[in-house]
Amino acid sequence: MHLELIKLEKTFKPSILTKIDDPLLDQYQIKLWIKRDDLLHPIISGNKWRKLKYTLDHALSEGADTLISMGGAYSNHLHALAYVSKALGLKTIGLVRGEQPETLTPTLSDLQNWGMVLKFVSRFDYRLLRQYKGCYDLPGLKPRQYWLPEGGAQALALKGVAELVNEIDVAYDILCVPCGTGATLAGIIDMVPDQVSVMGFAALKNAEFLQTDVESLLPRPCSNWQINMDYHFGGFAKTSAELMTFMADFEFKTGIPLEPVYTGKMIYAIYNLITKHTFKPGQRIIAVHTGGLQGKRGFNA
Ligand SMILES: *Cc1c(COP(=O)(O)O)cnc(C)c1O
């Protein structure tokens, strides 16, 4: 790995396992740990660093000086990419979904402050951009420009995600993770021991596409996984009073901050499934906190 990346990673905090003490878990004889990727770095948090690490290394090897990617107005991926690229001395261009808002979202203004050039693209054109997966696939790419697909979801992302699985030093039966593009899920499926089942929780409505997307990211066929589509709360970034109350209660009890787009929905789902006896007594669950707390700023209003 390039020295700049090794140096940067040295400044990161460890992603510990936090065991959750909760009488409800005792009642159903379930053990639950949270894998705290939210603690890695205040900005390049969670799974975005895991997914970017080896992609950035590849971009540096290729001699890239500009990284181009796509995301929404609250994108954790663009946020991590802009910050880390600035730290590495790389230029960035962000293709942002939808019209330019009159006042930039906190995420977009961070991107701009870190030197990312923002180009707003219509929802229609944004969808078309999803077909370009490879680092040189984007039409019109100039020399030394390097393309990252939405969410940084491509084969190299899996290698970084695998590292989070290797850090887990307790025995467990089930590994849970929230899903957007499914790249983090794919990296986990590829690395867990055979006897572990992996559960993804879709953050989007109509996320059936995830099944084939994850299959195509996996380097080999695997059967130890499933994606739960029942806890999207009406769609991507949609919330409910019940979800917000649950999150506030969980944060109060455990001191672990959640955000409502991904991690809040997953933890809600796990608790809900526990009370529905979906898990067997004695089962040990690890839920990956994928970070993304900056995106919470979209929900303060
Ligand atoms: C981007 C993101 C995800 C989704 O990751 P995918 O690899 O795209 O499935 C989950 N949680 C958080 C906090 C994220 O920012």
- CA of 178 from ligand 1 middle (Å) equals 6
- The model's pTM is 0.97
Encoded amino acid at 127, one letter: R
Domain ranges of the chain: 3-43+155-298, 46-152
pLDDT (average), residues 249-266? 97
**Nearest ligand 1 atom, CA 51:** 7
- β-strand pairing of 174-179 with 197-202: parallel
Please tell me the distance between residue 30's alpha carbon and the centre of ligand 1 in angstroms.
25
Give distance in angstroms: CA of 177 to centre of ligand 1.
Answer: 9
Give the whole-angstrom CA distance, residue 249 versus residue 255: 10
Asked whether residue 53 carries a pLDDT value surpassing 90, the answer given is yes
Is 149 touching ligand 1 by the criterion CB < 6 Å?
no
Specify the DSSP element, H or E, that contains 111: helix 106-113
Q: At 159, which helix (H) or strand (E)?
A: helix 155-167
Predicted confidence (pLDDT) per residue in 178-201, tens digit: 999 999 999 999 999 999 999 999
- Is pLDDT above 70 for 227? yes
CB pairs under 8 A, 24+ apart, for 19-24?
Answer: 20/254, 22/253, 22/254, 24/271, 24/274, 24/275
Q: How far apart are CA 142 and CA 158, in angstroms?
A: 27
pLDDT bin (cut points 50, 70, 90) of residue 279 is very high
Check residue 59 and give its pLDDT. Answer: 98
pLDDT of residue 295: 86
Structural fold of domain 46-152: Rossmann fold (3.40.50)
The alpha carbon of 147 and the centre of ligand 1 are apart by a number of angstroms equal to: 19
**3-class state of residue 120 by DSSP:** strand
Distance 188 CA to ligand 1 centre (A): 13
CA of 179 to the centre of ligand 1 (A): 6
CA distance 13 to 31: 25
Ligand 1 contact, 207 CB (< 6 A): no
Amino acid at 95: L
Q: Is the CB of 292 under 6 A from ligand 1?
A: yes
Angle 130-184-158 from CA coordinates, rounded to 5°: 90
Q: Is the CB of 46 inside a 6 Å radius of any atom of ligand 1?
A: yes
Q: What is the mean pLDDT of residues 267-285?
A: 98
Is the confidence at residue 170, as pLDDT, over 70? yes
75 within ligand 1 shell (Cβ under 6 A): no
Geometric angle at alpha carbon 67, from 63 and 68, rounded to 5°: 140
| pLDDT grade for 45, boundaries at 50, 70 and 90 | confident
Indicate the range of 57-66, 205-214, 265-274, 292-301 predicted with least confidence: 292-301
The conformational region for residue 34 under phi > 0 = left, psi -120 to 50 = alpha, else beta, is beta
User: How far apart (Å, rounded) are the C-alpha atoms in residues 151 and 79?
Assistant: 11
291 lines ligand 1 (CB under 6 A): yes
Report pLDDT for 300. 60
Among residues 257, 254, 267, the alpha carbon closest in space to that of 299 is found at 257
pLDDT at residue 298 in the model:
80
Tell me if 200 CB under 6 Å of ligand 1: no
pLDDT of residue 301 exceeding 60, the answer is: no
pLDDT tens track for 64-73: 999 999 999 9
Mean pLDDT computed over every residue of the chain: 97
Task: Identify the pLDDT of residue 278.
Answer: 97
Q: Which residues contact 262 (CB under 8 A, 6 or more apart)?
A: 178, 180, 203, 290, 292
| Helix, strand counts (H, E) of the chain | 11, 10
| pLDDT tens by residue, 121-140 | 999 999 999 999 999 999 99
- Pick 299 or 172 by higher pLDDT: 172
CATH class of 3-43+155-298: alpha beta
**DSSP at 206:** S
Domain 46-152 in the same topology as domain 3-43+155-298 = yes
